[in-house]
Amino acid sequence: MANIKADEISKILREQIANYEQSVSVDEVGAIISVGDGIARIHGLEKAMSGEMLAFPHNIFGLALNLEEEVRRFQFKVEAGADFAVTHPVFQVEQLARFLERARSFAPHLPVIAGIWPLTSFRNAEFMNNEVPGISVPPAVMERMRTADSGERARQEGLKIAQETLMEIRSLVQGCRLLRPSAVTPWRWR
């Protein structure tokens, strides 16, 4: 068995860190299709993985929400025999509508249950937007939660946003799943 010495490993790591050169390379170039509410639709980033952090000029970063990949995953679940589908928490109705338009082309009768997450504070909104893969909270919602800040006022604003979202998606889905940080409550329209 090899004799591993901590000081040798530390020395090697220090040398590698000292000689580390951070470089940026452009792997792909896409075309901006549309911009609205802080969301840019870009075509041509074929290598982007859903949930991948993207870097743009002027120190701007974004999250790849790959509709094609989401539709492929949905189709796999349908082919595996899914009886219904449940979405991530919905904060962008247009994004859900685009997904459903594509998904219903091969599963027109599969019930879709939308996830609804009443935000509880600006910090909660930031966490959902920045840390949860596949979730994007639009700037307008972020601003509403920033203005409400925290406490009861923020919880009420989060509930109001959730209610507005429910009303907008009601005709698109067959039910919803009300999510909150400590529990999950299913609910279905009758």
pLDDT value at 190 more than 60: no
**DSSP letter at 83?**
S
Mean pLDDT of 150-173: 93
pLDDT single digits (tens) 52-105? 667 676 766 666 667 777 888 888 988 999 999 998 899 989 889 988 998 888
The answer as to CATH 3.30.70.2190 being correct for domain 67-187 is no
Closest CA to 179 of 135, 144, 139: 135
Helix (H) / strand (E) containing 55:
strand 53-56
**DSSP letter at 185?**
E
pLDDT single digits (tens) 9-50? 888 888 888 777 766 566 667 776 666 656 666 766 766 666
pLDDT classification of 184: cutoffs 50, 70, 90: very low
Domain boundaries, the chain: 67-187
Closest CA to 158 of 172, 148, 168: 148
